[in-house]
Amino acid sequence: MTVDRRQRPQADGGRVVPNYAFTAGRTRSLAGADMPIEALVTATELGLAKAPGMAPEMRAIVEASTEPQSLAEIGALLGVPVGVARVLVSDLAAEDHLAVHLPLVGTDGRPRRELLERLLDGLRAR
Partner 1 sequence: MDSVHADGRAATATDVAPGARRDLLPLKILVAGGFGVGKTTLVAALSEVPPLSTEQQMTSLSDGVDDTSVVPEKTTTTVAMDFGRVTIDDSLVLYLFGTPGQSRFWFMWDELARGAVGAVVLVDLRRIDDCFAAIDYFENRGLPFVVALNEFPGTDGVDDELVRDALAVPPGCPLVHVDARDDDSCTRALIVLVEHALARSV
- Which residues lie near partner 1 (CB under 8 A)? 13, 19, 31-32, 35-40, 42-48, 66, 68, 70, 72-73, 75-76, 80-84, 89-90, 93-94, 96, 99-106, 108-111, 113, 115-124, 126
Instruction: Quote the least distance from Cβ 68 to partner 1, whole Å.
Output: 5
Angle (CA) 85 95 59, round 5°:
55
Instruction: Give whichever of 58 and 93 is closer to partner 1, judged by the CB atom.
Output: 93
Residue 71 neighbours by CB under 8 Å, 6+ apart: 35, 36, 37, 38, 39, 41, 82, 85, 86, 89
Instruction: Quote the least distance from Cβ 56 to partner 1, whole Å.
Output: 20
Residue 75 neighbours by CB under 8 Å, 6+ apart: 81, 82, 84, 85
Instruction: Quote the least distance from Cβ 9 to partner 1, whole Å.
Output: 14
Instruction: Quote the least distance from Cβ 26 to partner 1, whole Å.
Output: 13
Dmax of the chain from CA atoms?
Answer: 64
Instruction: Give whichever of 26 and 83 is closer to partner 1, judged by the CB atom.
Output: 83
